[in-house]
Structure 1
Amino acid sequence: MFFAGVDIGSTSTECVILNESGEIIAADMRPTGANSAKAAQAVLDSAIQKAGLDAPPHRIVATGYGRVSAPFAHKVVTEITCHARGVLHLFPQVRTIVDVGGQDSKVIRIGPKGNVIDFVMNDKCSAGSGRFLEVMARALEVELDDLGPLSEKSAEEISISSMCTVFAESEVISLVARAVPVEDIINGIHKSIVNRLASQMQRMNPEPDIVMTGGVAKNSGMVKKLSQAAGHVVLVPENPRMTGALGAALTVMGLDRE
């Protein structure tokens, strides 16, 4: 018997398949694109092929923004619940999650059994999200994956005063025109995002340890800045983008056994 979780996000879609022992036997990820239903089906089919299965998993949970667009799902669950379940599985001691995805950011407090105690979410604008970093990378003409390593070479702290994506882009372009080093600009961008995340964290009274999930958690500069703001090292899963899909698969496995 096999269980699958499909996390249909705004920018990427992930799938995790578990066996009866809760072990990951296959995982896949691809861009969501303009058709979330198509992306969800494609990532599920690919994961099934990787797992060597002759039929779809016994039970499937869909989560994320596009969860209602997955006709194959037996159940839909919010991404907040799934991230909590996924993080608890990977880091049983953790009680605070910072999830930074393509279009929003969330800080989630969880209980010892992975139950969501409280959360705060910024989904009204793209500031503090992966989309914000994409726009900044384009303005600086650097690859998105290079933002983290470049920011760690920064020699001077500068501030990006605007958190509106449009105004921040103009501010970055102005800094480039003044020949401010790219490394310092990127470091300033990370600092401005973390300041917003720190404000969200304070509202949740975070308890150590803290885990960062979502695609932005692959940015080493962001993780370093968040660790400094938290006062201790922020933990990151081996594949932070898969946390929601893993949690979805674990959720459906648990429901099936109830």
Structure 2
Amino acid sequence: MNYIGIDIGSTAAKTIVFDGTQIVSSFILPTGWSSKETAGLIRTQLGGAGFDVGSDDTRTIATGYGRISVEYADKILTEISCHGKGGSALLAGDGVIIDVGGQDTKIITVENGVAVRFLMNDKCSAGTGKFIEIMANRMGVDINELFALAQKGNPITISSMCTVFAES
């Protein structure tokens, strides 16, 4: 059985395939102007990798801002619910998850695999994820390479400055 998780966010669409034991595939695409078009691109890429979202041995869950656009999803869940389940599995227990997205930032407390509390900031500079994407573009680096590069560097503080001012 394959389990496909699709998170179509405001700036990036993340897809992961889990076979019940381990992650067997994952990829990230830019969301672009149309979540529906992005959902179609994801389906095409999954098919090209040998994963049939319509088969009896595959279950697909969609989340994120564009979750409604994934018409082939078996189930649609909120980001907060998905963070609770996924975070609990990754943390092997309770903890706090920080999601820095393209339009907002969420802090989620997870207990027993359930998101029990969360705070969300969607005001100016909440889209620090978009800021990071813009800075990657300015540096000529693919956003998917940033994590590896960050591990080699020194920690810095990202201020609450507007991305427009920081870019200049």
Smaller-chain TM-score bracket? 0.7 to 0.9
Whether 2:46 is the aligned partner of 1:47: answer yes
How far does the alpha carbon of each residue in 1:230-251 deviate from its partner, in whole angstroms, 9 at most, with x for none? Answer: xxxxxxxxxxxxxxxxxxxxxx
How high is the TM-score relative to the length of structure 2? 0.76
Which structure features the higher share of strand residues?
2
Which structure features the higher share of helix residues?
1
How far does the alpha carbon of each residue in 1:140-183 deviate from its partner, in whole angstroms, 9 at most, with x for none? Answer: x53464984796298xx9x95x63344x43xx75xxxxxxxxxx
Cα contact 1:16–1:47 (8 A) shared by 2: no
Instruction: Give the CA deviation at 1:55.
Output: 5.7
Instruction: Give the CA deviation at 1:67.
Output: 0.5
How far apart are the structure 2 equivalents of 1:35 and 1:56? 22
| Greater gyration radius | 1
RMSD in angstroms over aligned alpha carbons?
3.1
How far apart are the structure 2 equivalents of 1:62 and 1:105? 19
Instruction: Give the CA deviation at 1:94.
Output: 4.1
How high is the TM-score relative to the length of structure 1? 0.53
SS for the counterpart of 2:42 is helix
How far does the alpha carbon of each residue in 1:103-135 deviate from its partner, in whole angstroms, 9 at most, with x for none? Answer: 211110010x21011000112333451123345
Cα contact 2:105–2:122 (8 A) shared by 1: yes
One-letter amino acid matched to 1:164: C
SS for the counterpart of 2:60 is strand
SS for the counterpart of 2:4 is strand
- Flag structure 2 segments of 5+ consecutive residues without an equivalent: none
How far apart are the structure 2 equivalents of 1:43 and 1:77? 18
Whether 2:71 is the aligned partner of 1:74: answer no
Which of 149, 163, 166 is the aligned partner of 2:161? 163
The corresponding residue for 1:56 is 54
How far does the alpha carbon of each residue in 1:9-30 deviate from its partner, in whole angstroms, 9 at most, with x for none? Answer: 11111222233x3432322221
SS for the counterpart of 1:4 is strand
SS for the counterpart of 1:90 is helix
The corresponding residue for 1:6 is 6
How far apart are the structure 2 equivalents of 1:18 and 1:70? 18
- Flag structure 1 segments of 5+ consecutive residues without an equivalent: 174-258
Cα contact 1:127–1:165 (8 A) shared by 2: no
The corresponding residue for 1:29 is 28
How far does the alpha carbon of each residue in 1:58-112 deviate from its partner, in whole angstroms, 9 at most, with x for none? Answer: 322110010011111122101111122112112213411111122211110010x
Higher RCO structure, 1 or 2 (CA under 8 Å, sep 6+): 1
The corresponding residue for 2:154 is 152
How far apart are the structure 2 equivalents of 1:3 and 1:165? 36
Instruction: Decide whether aligned partners of structure 1 residues 9 and 55 sit closer, same or farther in structure 2, where only a CA change above 3 A counts.
Output: closer
Percent identical residues: 39
How far apart are the structure 1 equivalents of 2:155 and 2:63? 37
How far apart are the structure 1 equivalents of 2:73 and 2:24? 19
Q: How many residues align?
A: 161
Cα contact 1:127–1:164 (8 A) shared by 2: no
How far apart are the structure 1 equivalents of 2:25 and 2:133? 29
The corresponding residue for 2:139 is 142
SS for the counterpart of 1:40 is helix
How far apart are the structure 1 equivalents of 2:40 and 2:105? 26
Instruction: Decide whether aligned partners of structure 1 residues 56 and 25 sit closer, same or farther in structure 2, where only a CA change above 3 A counts.
Output: farther
Instruction: Decide whether aligned partners of structure 1 residues 24 and 126 sit closer, same or farther in structure 2, where only a CA change above 3 A counts.
Output: same
One-letter amino acid matched to 1:142: M
